Amino acid sequence: MDVVDSDIAQVLRHAGYRVTRPRMAILSVLQENREYLSPQEIHRRGRERYQGLGLVTVYRTLQILDGLGIARRVHTRDRCHSYALARGDRHYLVCRRCGQVLEFPCDGLVPLVESVRQETGYLIEGHLLEMTGLCSECQSQGGADR
Amino acid sequence: MDVVDSDIAQVLRHAGYRVTRPRMAILSVLQENREYLSPQEIHRRGRERYQGLGLVTVYRTLQILDGLGIARRVHTRDRCHSYALARGDRHYLVCRRCGQVLEFPCDGLVPLVESVRQETGYLIEGHLLEMTGLCSECQSQGGADR
DNA sequence: GTGCTTGCAAACCCTTTGCAGTGAA
DNA sequence: TTCACTGCAAAGGGTTTGCAAGCAC
């Protein structure tokens, strides 16, 4: 179990959850794939690490991980229920071809939030900024979307 | 049929689609509700305008409208398949209590897109910026989410 | 009149729930 | 040892598909 696994295991334990083989298998899949994956895909890959992994456990674990902010849902035009490991903040970049998910710091949004608040009167509690496109590798390769 | 209906009817016709009663009923629902609605909800409200409207037609029509950029999917934490009429650009504000969807101009994002492009090498093709919070009315009323 | 659209019913598939056995602490 | 967790099977619910009838053009 590598360093990051241990960190996440700590978070789970502190939140009162048990650290189990199925959960570690799912985390390991998310960690080794910097792309968004559907629950089915996570299940398939998770079985390569832990044969007995059930799809139901994947769903339940993803809910827990999402609740703890460890993983998060990625929304794309067609897929609304895929997940990727959260890597720090709430802004990400999705490659439409290979599915890689990259998070980026986003201080530039603060003044924008403020101006929207002033114009609309909304109390803004959260936001989702997702950019889609092609990562540099996929730009040079061409081909169809996932 | 009011002015905006006619405009949209034109767009449909130009794209090779027929302008039918079910489609107009669905459009009218979207136009009269500045909030995101699930296909089921659109179906229910659409029946008030056209009794015979079928749920399947709602799904098929929403796909067409989404494809033409007339309506668009609204992604929220729990609901990924709700729709609202597109009102000009790709940035919106969702009230978590009443479900109102407001679009806002967003020039402030241009420099941000550019800096992300430089840092990551991504070819950025599109983005989704969704802010959530409480509209001014709901701020003064309190109460539970939808 | 032609053939795109529609609504119904049924098929599909993803997600959740119930439950008894299992294993982390 | 305890009880949270798991996998299986089944239920549940939303979405899509097949097809004959209907309607826009």
CA distance A44 to chain B (A): 24
Closest nucleotide relative to residue B17's CA, C1' based: C4
Report pTM.
Answer: 0.74
Predicted local distance difference test score (pLDDT) of residue B24 = 96
Closest nucleotide relative to residue A80's CA, C1' based: C14
Residue-wise pLDDT for A67-120, tens only, equals: 888 888 876 655 667 888 876 556 777 776 777 777 777 677 778 888 888 888
Average pLDDT over residues A12-18: 93
* Closest to A8 in 3D by CA, of A38, A30, A39, A40: A30
Strand, coil or helix: what is B106? coil
Predicted local distance difference test score (pLDDT) of residue B145 = 47
What's the pLDDT band for B84 if we cut at 50, 70, 90? confident
Predicted local distance difference test score (pLDDT) of residue A49 = 95
Report CB contact under 8 Å: B131, A115.
no
CA distance B51 to chain A (A): 30
Which range among A21-25, A139-143, B21-25, B46-50 shows the weakest confidence by mean pLDDT?
A: A139-143
* Whether residue A135 has pLDDT greater than 60: yes
Predicted local distance difference test score (pLDDT) of residue A137 = 83
Average pLDDT over residues B91-116: 76
Chain A, chain B: beta-carbon pairs less than 8 Å apart = 112
Contacts of B77 in chain A (CB under 8 A): 73
Task: Please name each of the domains of chain B with its CATH number.
Answer: 1-87 (1.10.10.10), 89-146 (3.30.1490.190)
Report CB contact under 8 Å: B121, A135.
yes
R_g of chain B computed on alpha carbons: 17
What's the pLDDT band for B13 if we cut at 50, 70, 90? very high
Window 51-80 of A, Cβ < 8 Å to B: 73, 75, 77, 80
Report CB contact under 8 Å: B112, A113.
no
Contact (Cβ atoms closer than 8 angstroms) between residue B110 and residue B66: no
Q: Order of strands, edge to edge, in the sheet holding B91-95?
A: A101-103, A91-95, A123-134, B123-134, B91-95, B101-103
Contacts of A115 in chain B (CB under 8 A): 108
Tell whether B107 is within 8 A of chain A (Cβ): no
